């Protein structure tokens, strides 16, 4: 964290200076493409060109260079951008298509451009504009996400808080917008200020649920950023959350209660936390799914890092994120005896109130549940489902039931292996937990 000795040494960055990461797996190697970003860039110039990192295990990352040699001429002339934003890549046929955004903060004089290559490692050839927007337009041509629908047809999602998020069909031959196709609205919020932002669309299809999942980021990228999700039976929506709210419903109040909130600013066990996690991509790797996003150090929000954490799936088909970053852990048999002890519980409320802090709870033998704010009972169902029933409630919420999934994890705050849980209550609020210690005499 905060490695000032390597601020100007790219080979020493590893996960540092990662912003708006998108991930692609080629063979046994993972690649992350990200926004041109550098802490301390006011002292030494930031080089534009789309940063590229790679890894063999999703844990150790090496900085390998830039996809492009600066900002393509058309993108620079249209947007006056000084760096490139939010790249994403997919493959059609034998060609790789790399989409990037060129803009300036607070403007929708923006352009999504395209570069192509016969290899994920380049060289990349710029193919010019895919979508352009200008002042007065509803949409903003940033944050591109190319994807395939269940029938294998290519689409591009994009946009930000100016007029919401959109999706449009792509041409299979060119990777650009298919002739005659018009964008369809995916998500919108009531505010057109940074405080009411919605941006960074990312869509995946889950064959098991026969559902599309739209991940988005809310609010200010340097303070109250968070990742939300909704789902739909159609790639063009409407996308709805756990409570049935459409992500396009800009009239519902409070707006903070739309979209399942997967992750926000948090801190465990009295240790330094992470703030403004967001702008995610999703990796489907075999039978596992991973959320890939950036987050900022709590002590100095100028520093941005790559985070990768596993996504688990609830019984009713909603994704929930691990409380801890991925460290190579694998599923293992669990039983109720392994869960008794002192835990840290951390809810992820829909409305932002600052960095959420964990509080201790106790899972006692015999199924009793205790905390400073409530009591109840707990039960465990193999292989990994834990139910917490708060009879007297916890905090000011009143009685509630939390259904969570328990998995092994690495405790990054305390540098040791542990167990964690992640899930939701009956209102769709996400709940995290981490095992801390056994309880003497229990």
Q: How big, in percent rounded to 5, are the helix, strand and coil portions of the chain? A: 5, 45, 50
Catalytic residue among 10, 36, 143, 199: 199
For residue 126, the number of C-alpha atoms closer than 13 Å in the C-beta half-sphere is 18
Active-site annotation holds for 442: no
**211 neighbors 317 (Cβ within 8 angstroms):** yes
The DSSP secondary structure of 13-55, one letter per residue, reads TTTBT--S-EEEEETTEEEEEE----TTTTTSPPPPS-EEEEE
Q: Which two tokens stand for residue 378?
A: 């707990």
Give the Cα separation of 25 and 44 in Å (integer): 32
For 78, the enclosing helix (H) or strand (E) is: helix 73-79
**Residue 293 CB neighbour total at 10 angstroms:** 29
Active-site annotation holds for 199: yes
User: For 152-175, b where at least 16 C-beta lie within 10 A, e where not — what string?
Assistant: eebbbbbbbbbbbbbbbbbeeeeb
User: Which residues 6+ apart lie within 8 Å of 5 measured at CB?
Assistant: 12
CA angle (429 as vertex; 425, 431 as ends), nearest 5 = 75
CA angle (125 as vertex; 92, 155 as ends), nearest 5 = 35
Q: Are strands 154-160 and 164-169 parallel, antiparallel or unpaired?
A: antiparallel
Q: Which two tokens stand for residue 111?
A: 């352009």
The residue whose two tokens read 């959350």 is 241
Give the Cα separation of 411 and 327 in Å (integer): 9
**48 neighbors 85 (Cβ within 8 angstroms):** no
* CA pseudo-torsion sign 69, 171, 180, 164: negative
For 155, the enclosing helix (H) or strand (E) is: strand 154-160
Q: How far is CA 387 from the centre of its chain?
A: 26
Q: Which two tokens stand for residue 298?
A: 């709590």
Catalytic residue among 20, 219, 411, 413: 20
Q: Which two tokens stand for residue 142?
A: 């940033």
DSSP helix/strand/coil, 339: helix
Q: Which residues are catalytic?
A: 20, 199
């Amino acid at each position: 964290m905060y490695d000032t000795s390597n601020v100007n040494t790219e080979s020493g960055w590893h996960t540092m200076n990662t912003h708006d990461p998108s991930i692609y797996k080629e063979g046994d190697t993972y690649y992350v493409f990200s926004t041109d970003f550098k802490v301390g860039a006011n002292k030494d110039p930031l080089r534009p060109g789309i940063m590229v990192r790679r890894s063999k295990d999703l844990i150790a990352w090496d900085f390998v260079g830039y996809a492009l040699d600066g900002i393509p001429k058309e993108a620079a002339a249209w947007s006056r951008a000084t760096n490139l934003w939010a790249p994403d890549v997919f493959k059609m046929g034998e060609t790789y298509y790399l989409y990037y955004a060129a803009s300036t903060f607070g403007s929708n004089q923006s352009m999504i451009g395209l570069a192509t290559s016969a290899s994920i490692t380049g060289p990349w050839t710029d193919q010019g504009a895919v979508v352009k927007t200008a002042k007065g337009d509803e949409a903003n041509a940033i944050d591109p996400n190319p994807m395939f629908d269940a029938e294998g047809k290519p689409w591009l999602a994009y946009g930000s808080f100016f007029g919401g998020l959109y999706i449009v069909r792509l041409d299979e031959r060119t990777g650009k917008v298919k002739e005659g196709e018009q964008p369809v609205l995916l998500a919108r919020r009531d505010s057109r200020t940074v405080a009411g932002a919605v941006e960074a669309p990312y869509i995946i299809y889950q064959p098991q649920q026969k559902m599309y999942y739209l991940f988005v980021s809310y609010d200010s990228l340097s303070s109250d950023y968070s990742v939300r999700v909704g789902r739909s039976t159609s790639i063009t929506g409407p996308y709805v959350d756990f409570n049935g709210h459409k992500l396009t419903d800009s009239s519902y109040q409070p707006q903070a209660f739309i979209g399942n909130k997967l992750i926000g600013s948090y801190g465990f066990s009295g240790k330094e936390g992470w703030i403004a996690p967001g702008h995610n991509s999703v990796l489907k790797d075999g039978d596992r799914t991973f959320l890939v996003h950036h987050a900022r150090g709590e002590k100095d929000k100028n520093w941005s890092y790559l985070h990768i954490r596993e996504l688990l799936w609830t019984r009713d088909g909603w994704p929930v994120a691990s409380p801890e970053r991925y460290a190579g852990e694998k599923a293992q048999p669990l039983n109720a005896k392994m869960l008794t002890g002192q835990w840290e519980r951390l809810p992820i409320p829909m409305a932002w109130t600052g960095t959420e802090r964990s509080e201790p709870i106790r899972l006692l033998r015999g199924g009793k549940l205790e905390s400073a704010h409530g009591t109840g009972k707990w039960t465990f169902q193999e292989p990994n489902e834990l139910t917490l029933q708060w009879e007297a409630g916890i905090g000011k919420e009143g009685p509630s039931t939390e259904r969570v999934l328990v998995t092994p994890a690495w405790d990054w705050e305390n540098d040791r292996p542990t167990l964690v849980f992640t899930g939701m209550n009956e209102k769709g609020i996400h709940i995290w937990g981490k095992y801390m210690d056994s309880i003497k005499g229990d």
